[in-house]
Amino acid sequence: MELDARSSSLLQELLTNSGIRNKDLELKYGLSRRQIEYSFGKINDWLEARYLPQIKRTKTGHFLIHKALLTALSSEQNQQAGSTYVLSEEERTNLIILMLLSKNSDLSLLHFTDALGVSKNTILSDLKNAQAIAGAFELAVTYSRVLGYSLEGKEFNKRQALINIVYRTIDMYGGETWIKELSGADSSEIAALSRKMEAVEAKLNLKFTDEKMESMPYILLLSLRRIRQGQIVEGFHIHCDELSDTKEYQAVEEILHDLQGIPTEERLFFTLHLLTTNVSSMAYLSEDTLPELTRALDEMLSLFERSACVTLQDRGQLLDKILLHLKPAYYRIKYQLTIANPLQETIGKEFKELHHLVKQSSVPLRRLIGVDIPESETTYLTMLIGGWLSRQGDSLQQKIKALVVCPKGVCVSRLLQSTLRELFREFIFFDSLSVREFHSYALEYDVVFSTVYLPTDKKLFVIKSYLDKEDKYRLRQQVMQEMSGYSPSEFNMELIMEIVGKHAVIGNSHSLRVELEEHFRPGERASGKRDYDTRMPDLNGLLTPDMIRLERRADSWQEAVRLGAEPLLRRGAITPGYVEAMIDSYDREDPYIVIGPGLAIPHADPASGVNEVSMSLLRLEEPVSYSEAYPVQVIVIIAAKDKHQHLRSLMQLMQLAGSQEAVRAVIEAGSALEIHKVAVKFSKD
């Protein structure tokens, strides 16, 4: 009797992950509860036939595995990997790629069918899957009558694929045996490389994870084989100076000291592999942790706390824990050597809200490293932060999740989200969306704040794009009443202070009162002072007289944008590409940049060419038409370097736009200095 592929996979999963629950298996393998029960019935029949203890399942969905079973199957695993275990489609595909990357001779269909024990048609189907995996590494599976099957592409990409496939294979049932058999790896060579790696651990005072110690000798062996075959990594985009003075480079020199003719690029590649290999020893990080990485991570955790409305307890410990992961991940991400995360799909599904917030908060890391953080790496961050939240008893599921929908462009949307985030600090705000993005939004949410009506079965609050103090007060009253039956107007500070004083000693009653006010009445703080970042400039700090231009007329709104942008171009605050991007992004059917009678704020994506946060203003004596319904005389060019630094001045500009008297004063001004004086009046909170 033999196990089918599904039963084999489930058994292997339990042997390597005994803590997994029935529900986890359903999600991971896309199976129903009934299908899993059926497979475990077959597994237990198979075990019984072999006189092995059966697997039991508790009412809570956990599995009970007898130690004797683990011992028996582990000892058989490496000896009989191919005899009773039926490979899954994914495993066969990975093994085919492994054969292609480690081949010593030409490979034909016959080689694959013999090695994997399946039919020719099955192999042909697997080769199509192999092409899809190879494509992710910018490689292609090719065939010729002379050379058989091969992988075509850059050698660097092949090494990336090799590392990835070895990690995947070593994790599968009997993985090490499969690698040895299919690659022809010599056991004595593997043992020698393992001893060298242990020596490296001692020399560098670090401890690689068991998983990596198991994989690295094979990666080194197969890479050296490719080098001997003349497959050399070329066009290496890693700078020698950046890696050659590291301990890891010295370690590689020792590993390769008895091998002749290994090019510098290859030594750097091996160095990179060591740097990107996970370690489990903190001592390694304490010596040369990058200060910039620590700061970026700290900033990321702050963003996460703000987005998720949580306070991370023992934050320093969490930061150290994530640093342990991020040090190798830094090089892995920077040089695109990201490894597969087997839990990526599960985490993405089960903790998608948390994962979304972690990805949103990873901007400082992306800015530091210079590339997007891959999904597999943010999954690791989600796991670490999620575990920490569970430990301290926090759950995002209990919080109200909100969306902001605003068709009025990036700047106004961000300002609105920032205002709402401050007004409802107890909510989690996922995203600020356009109407089109909202209709295809995938995450679950509870409430929508929108400047336009939307068809939704969730709570919808239609609001203005700019909220003054009275608007905020009414909105908070309405929302809290409808969402939780609680009205902030019922808040009695004296009663709260009396209750607290009855049960606790109050050290500083003034500070307690201020913090309670901030919590229950955000936006109405006792001090009346907003908690803006001190780096945020005021409106008058940006709209200085030299950034203000007065003209009689412009032939078109496009010319008005170019005239208005000239002061910023002259100063180097923006590039010509940003000016064209502002013009290209304008939607005549939806002139969202017109924020009030006679006033428009053209802007575009900062990536289009913003060098510093800045503004300039053009005042025309004759109106220019953005559309038939929107003639404007005041055009304020907004250049936002990031999502936050311009929000303070933008809010002040929105206040100015809301005042007919102020807009008239700007239109009728006789000089740039007069307009600047108007800006000064609105440059306070």
| H/E stretch holding 480 | helix 469-484
C-alpha–C-alpha distance, residues 428 and 52, integer Å: 51
DSSP string, 553-608: --SSHHHHHHHHHHHHHHHTSB-HHHHHHHHHT--TTS-TTEEETEEE-----GGG
Write out the two tokens for 102.
């480690």
C-alpha–C-alpha distance, residues 25 and 53, integer Å: 21
The active-site residue, picked from 603, 644, 646, 676, is 603
C-alpha–C-alpha distance, residues 473 and 454, integer Å: 23
Question: CB 625: neighbour CB atoms within 10 A?
Answer: 12
The type of residue at 398 is Q
Looking only at the bridges linking them, the beta strands covering 140-144 and 400-405 are: unpaired
Torsion sign (Cα): 470, 431, 519, 652? negative
Radius of gyration (C-alpha) of the chain in whole angstroms: 31
Number of DSSP helices (H) and strands (E) in the chain, helices first: 33, 13
C-alpha–C-alpha distance, residues 112 and 101, integer Å: 13
Write out the two tokens for 371.
């590339």
Asked if 325 is an active-site residue, the reply is no
Question: CB 273: neighbour CB atoms within 10 A?
Answer: 23
CB 645 within 8 A of CB 535: yes
Measured between alpha carbons, how far is residue 73 from residues 3, 6, 11, 168, 223 in Å?
14, 17, 10, 20, 31
C-alpha–C-alpha distance, residues 449 and 430, integer Å: 12
CB 324 within 8 A of CB 279: yes
Say how many CA atoms lie within 13 Å of 449 toward its Cβ.
32
- Taking every pair of C-alpha atoms in the chain, what is the biggest distance, in angstroms? 98
C-alpha–C-alpha distance, residues 464 and 316, integer Å: 41
CA neighbor of 362 nearest in space, from 348, 349, 372: 372
Write out the two tokens for 86.
């039926």
CB 167 within 8 A of CB 215: yes
C-alpha–C-alpha distance, residues 554 and 561, integer Å: 9
Contacts of 685 (CB under 8 A, 6+ apart): 528, 529, 530, 532
3-state helix, strand, coil in the chain (%, to 5): 60, 10, 30
Measured between alpha carbons, how far is residue 38 from residues 19, 73, 122 in Å?
20, 21, 25
Give the residue carrying structure tokens 């990080």: 285
What are the helix (H) ranges across 184-244? 187-204, 210-228, 240-243
C-alpha–C-alpha distance, residues 92 and 198, integer Å: 32
C-alpha–C-alpha distance, residues 247 and 558, integer Å: 57
Measured between alpha carbons, how far is residue 101 from residues 133, 341, 430, 447, 545 in Å?
13, 21, 43, 51, 65
Measured between alpha carbons, how far is residue 212 from residues 16, 203, 258 in Å?
16, 17, 23
C-alpha–C-alpha distance, residues 11 and 45, integer Å: 12
Which amino acids are annotated catalytic?
603
